[in-house]
Amino acid sequence: MGRRRKGDKVDGWVNFDKPLEMTSTQAVGKVRWLYNAQKAGHAGTLDPLATGILPIALGEATKTIPFMQDALKTYFFTIKWGEQRSTDDTEGDIIATSDIRPSAEDINAALPAYIGDIQQVPPKFSAIKVDGQRAYDLARDGEDVQLKARSVYIHSLELLETRADEADFRMICGKGTYVRSLARDLALDLGTKGYIALLRREAVGGFGEKNAILLDKLEDLRNSARLDEALLPLSAALDDIPALALKENEIAPLKNGQVLSFVSKPDFDRLEKIGLAANETALATFQGKAIALIEVEGAQIKPVRVFNT
């Protein structure tokens, strides 16, 4: 007999609005504690000095985390000109200065080079592993960390406002993109120095600020036994993938890991109706409830991840 997990069986997503100076790990721990959940995880690390959207998965929703990690993310940030910091944000030491302040025209002229697939060197103070150790641990120990450039995707980058010593931006980007690296590189391209003075994540995929919940509100809901009000279904992370409505007699075989054979014309019509193509991942549901993640291989529907809800 397997060991029983501590805590309650809670399945779903919390669209958490992370406060300043809280780590992503601390945020997950806090939300898990509030719900007394057996299992929890997050969809994309957010720096302690950043605020904003940190989707937290509880229970079976943790199986959908990869879909959120691959989702586009939206950031609002401020670059402070004239100084370069060791961490590329307000926490680090000043390592270089410049008297040059770029104009709005110069900034806008430089932005197109940062759109699309670009090469980016992560900050030395990052969670990337170097020979089995985190880069930020090595950097804090005084080692000269040399990180390799890697390909990241930036969907859009817009200058919102300029002031004497700083400028505001909004960026939509793919996973692995470091806003701190972008600030560092953009400043250097503009002939000056710069670092992130403010950073807020406004959206991760379909999770945005509109239905995000702050820590104090979450604590209030717990105190009044209304935490369910902040719990989104695990399918909330899967809104942009096809959904196949199952028949009742198809649920048990799929949950038991068996393959469904779709050989009749009505079955093919079901797949065509939702636009499900071969080797594509979809969500299998019954009466709106998530049953499993599935893939199509020829005439077979194969379970990839089964939800024990």
Q: Return the beta strands (E) in 44-111 as ranges.
A: 51-58, 73-81, 83-85, 94-97
State the Cα–Cα distance between residues 128 and 220, nearest whole angstrom. 36
Q: From its phi and psi, is residue 167 left (phi > 0), alpha (psi between -120 and 50) or beta?
A: beta
CB 143 within 8 A of CB 46: no
Give the angle 204-208-214 at the CA atoms, nearest 5°: 110
Cα–Cα distance list, 278 to 260, 268, 300 (Å): 14, 12, 10
Instruction: Kindly name the residue from 47, 88, 89, 185 that is annotated as catalytic.
Output: 47
Catalytic (active site) residue 165: no
Helix (H) or strand (E) holding 194: strand 194-204
Return the active site residues: 47
